[in-house]
Amino acid sequence: MSNLTALTDQNFQTTVASGVTLVDFWAEWCGPCRMIAPVLEELGVDYQGRASVGKVNVDEAPGLAQQFGVSSIPTLLVMKNGQEVNRFVGVTAKGVLAQALDKAIA
C-alpha cells in the first residue's frame, strides 16, 4: 500500500498548506524518476504521521511544474506550511532527503 499522494492542480495547495510535504515532480517516461520511486515509497512509510510525500506528474499538471520553475525531473521540493524550504534536482540519496525532512519537521 502506497503512502504517496498524487498531487494535482486541484489538491496541491490544500495538501501542502500545513505541515511538511516532500513533493516529487516526475513523469512516467523518466528513467531517473523510476529509479528514485522506491526511495520515496520508503520515506512515505518512514515519515508517516510526521510528513507526507506527494507526486506531481508533470505531464498531467504542467502548470504546477511551471509555477515552481521545474525544468529537470525528478525535482524534489521540501514544503513546510506551503512554502518551499529545500530543493533537490536529480536522483537524491534517501539519507539526504531524510535529513532535509528532519530539519523541516524540527
Contact in structure between 23 and 16 (CB atoms under 8 Å): yes
* 85 a catalytic residue: no
From 7, 16, 23, 33, active-site residue? 33
SS3 content of the chain, % helix, strand, coil (to 5): 35, 30, 35
* 30 a catalytic residue: yes
Quote the CA–CA distance of 24 and 73 in Å, as a whole number.
Answer: 9
From 16, 23, 30, 65, active-site residue? 30
Question: Cell 524518476 maps to which residue?
Answer: 33
Backbone angles phi, psi at 83, to 5 degrees: -115, 140
Q: Catalytic positions, please? A: 30, 33
